[in-house]
Amino acid sequence: MTHIRQVLPDSNEWWKGEFELEYHERDILEHVSKFLSLPQIIAFTGLRRVGKTTLMFKIASDFIDGGLDPQNVIYFSFDDFRDAQVSEVIREYEELMGKNIKEGKYLLLLDEIQKLTNWEDQVKRIYDIHGKRVKIILSGSESLFLRKKSKETLSGRIFEFKVDTLSFREFLRFKETVKLECNLAFLI
């Protein structure tokens, strides 16, 4: 059985200075960016394969480019860890990296959060204890906030953004970027 500590280094390439993100501009990022400096949690919801994780990685890259220590950016996917606890992820990170999230600023990216039982209370606890130092970004399925309990537990603490499939304008922009890259590669 794989343990949290084993997957953390591979999931956080920026810790090793090897992080390169292939990203095509999405309209939603401009809207979300206005909320990143606020203390509230950011949640991305939407269908599978619409780019929620890529948006999280783009935000991580922007935070690092803005001066945040890459080792203070923590990404974890609960895809294969349905029985894990958010506090366990943080504890494993602190031990692995020799960090204390009570000191400094951090970015915590929690992917596929809906796979955890009682995720709302877990995230609320982290936010209430560490919200001034830790910016939390979540991703989950479209049904992440269908349960009344989710909205009540995190009321006033979260901004939800639905990530849709590419708009036609985004599609054209994406195709133009690919076409330009192909033309440049041909010239080289």
pLDDT of residue 1: 47
pLDDT of residue 108: 98
Average pLDDT, the chain: 86
Assess if CATH 3.40.50.300 describes domain 4-187.
Answer: yes
Which pLDDT band holds residue 152 (cuts at 50, 70, 90)?
confident
**Residues 152, 160, 102, 58, Cα dihedral to 10°:** 160
- With b for 16 or more beta-carbon neighbours within 10 A and e for fewer, the 133-149 pattern comes to ebbbbbbbbeebbeeee
Q: Write down the domain spans for the chain.
A: 4-187
Q: Please tell me whether residue 159 adopts helix, strand or coil conformation.
A: strand
Residue range 154-158: mean pLDDT, rounded:
85
More confident residue, 96 or 17: 96
CA-to-CA distance for 109 and 112, rounded, in angstroms?
10
pTM of the model: 0.86
Q: Which two tokens stand for residue 112?
A: 């596929």
**Span of 37-51, 113-127, 131-145, 159-173 with lowest mean pLDDT:** 159-173
More confident residue, 7 or 19: 7
